[in-house]
Structures are given as structure tokens and as C-alpha cells.
Amino acid sequence: MLRELPPNISRLTKLEEIDLSDNYFNSIPNYILEFPNLKIITLVNNPFDETTLNLLHHKFEDFKSKEIYLQYSGTQP
């Protein structure tokens, strides 16, 4: 399981699962959702504010064919 992003992520076309937990991300880059084989994204313990959480939920709605685990600490929007 990937715990941090490598310098050249264009080589990750076969990536199926990514765990971006505990990275203190304020947002998730759009290119993460564009990996063709990505099925699971786990986000835990990142400092998302309510606005960012709402944007993430909206962004993931566009990827209904993917199984997205959106987990985080704090209040759910």
C-alpha cells in the first residue's frame, strides 16, 4: 500500500488502492482520481475543513464506478 506520493506518479497506472492517511493534506489532487485502475482511496487523519469535505464528496460523486473509502476525522458534512 502506498503511504506517500512518489516524485513521478505518472508511472502508477496500475495502482488499485491508495492510502493517503496521516499526511496532513488540505485537499486531494485531481490526478489521483484519474488513475485508470484505482478502486480504493483511504483518507484518515487529514485536516479537512467542512468546505473541503463537501468538495471531496462532490468530486467523488463523479466517480460512482469506483469504490471510494472517504474516511476522515472530524464532523461529517
CB 17 within 8 A of CB 1: yes
The tally of domains found in the chain comes to 1
Distance CA 39, CA 54 (A): 21
Residue 48: pLDDT above 50?
A: yes
Domain hosting 67: range is 1-77
Cell of 41: 482511496
- Confidence category of residue 77, pLDDT binned at 50, 70, 90: very low
pLDDT digits (tens, 9 = 90+) for 12-30: 778 888 787 777 666 677 6
The pTM of the whole model exceeds 0.85: no
pLDDT digits (tens, 9 = 90+) for 52-72: 777 777 766 765 555 555 555
CB 3 within 8 A of CB 25: no
Residue 75: pLDDT above 50?
A: no
